[in-house]
Amino acid sequence: MPRKTNSLVSTNDEVLKSLEALGLRIRANRVALGWTVKEMASRLLCSQNTYRAIEAGKPSASVGIITNALWLFGQLDTIDGVAPAPINTNRNTRARKKVGTTDASLISEEERDF
């Protein structure tokens, strides 16, 4: 049985819907090209189960494999639209934890209220 991490168990419903929609779009591209799941998995150098997880929108799917699928479809440039950097970002600025602050991976109760 696959191991579940807290990050996968607590995945937001909006995120799951978005991943499912991405999986459906990837499936539509595969079908449009006439490729089977076996052929697609072979092209991506992954197992058929791993590829099926991508089409199913599973949050455990590898972003690397998804990006390779986009490359196979000739759509690699679409990945550039994911999480664009803010315009006012200074490339030389580093994020540093101030002494006495809490761990950045912890979410405060105010942040959970959305």
CB neighbourhood size of 44 (10 A): 19
Q: Which of 23-27, 54-58, 85-89, 91-95 has the lowest mean pLDDT?
A: 91-95
Q: What pLDDT sits at residue 105?
A: 62
Domains of the chain, CATH where assigned: 10-81 (1.10.260.40)
User: Cα(51)–Cα(56) distance, rounded to whole angstroms?
Assistant: 9
Tokens of 39: 């052929």
Q: Report the percentage of the chain scoring pLDDT > 90.
A: 56
Residues 6+ apart with CB under 8 A from 75: 29
Query: What is the per-residue pLDDT across 28-84, written as a single tens digit (0 to 9) for each?
Result: 999 999 999 999 999 999 999 999 999 999 999 999 999 999 999 999 999 988 888
Identify the band that residue 11 occupies on the pLDDT scale cut at 50, 70 and 90. Answer: confident
